């Protein structure tokens, strides 16, 4: 019915005003922040790792966040060092060379 109240009165209040504004103004990847504590910089890089391969990967920011990945700002990505005995693979340079 037009103009009828929703069956769940709380349904209209599930989102705050800033969430509604941000969700329509910016793509999800642009709203993500660096995962480092106390860093408010926007995320620019996705860090992922593989235990079996003992490898840490840095890649351009993925479209969707994943709980097993970490989004980092450029400053923290540049300072990333893998654990001793692990390899760091920076896929950002590969993506840049393919794009050009």
Q: What is the pLDDT along the chain (100 residues), one digit of tens a residue?
A: 455 555 555 555 454 444 444 445 555 545 789 999 999 999 999 999 999 999 999 999 988 878 889 999 999 999 999 999 999 999 987 655 565 5
For 38: left if phi > 0, alpha if psi spans -120 to 50, otherwise beta; the answer is: left
For position 93, what pLDDT does the model report?
74
SS (H, E, C) the chain: CCCCCCCCHHHHHCCCHHHHHHHHHCCHHHHCECCCCCCCCECCEEEEEECCCCEEEEEECCCCCCCCCEEECHHHHHCCCCCCCCEEEEHHHHHHHHHC
Beta bridge partner(s), residue 60: 45
Evaluate whether 55 touches 87 at the Cβ level (below 8 Å).
yes
């Amino acid at each position: 019915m037009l103009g009828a109240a929703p069956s769940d009165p709380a349904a209209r209040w599930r989102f705050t005003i800033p969430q509604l504004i941000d969700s329509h103004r910016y793509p999800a990847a642009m709203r993500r922040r660096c995962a480092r504590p106390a860093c408010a910089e926007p995320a620019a890089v996705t860090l992922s790792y593989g235990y079996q391969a003992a490898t840490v990967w840095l890649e351009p920011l993925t479209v969707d966040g994943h709980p097993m990945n970490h989004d980092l700002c450029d400053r923290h990505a540049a300072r990333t060092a893998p654990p001793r005995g692990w390899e760091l693979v920076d896929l950002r340079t590969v993506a840049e060379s393919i794009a050009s």
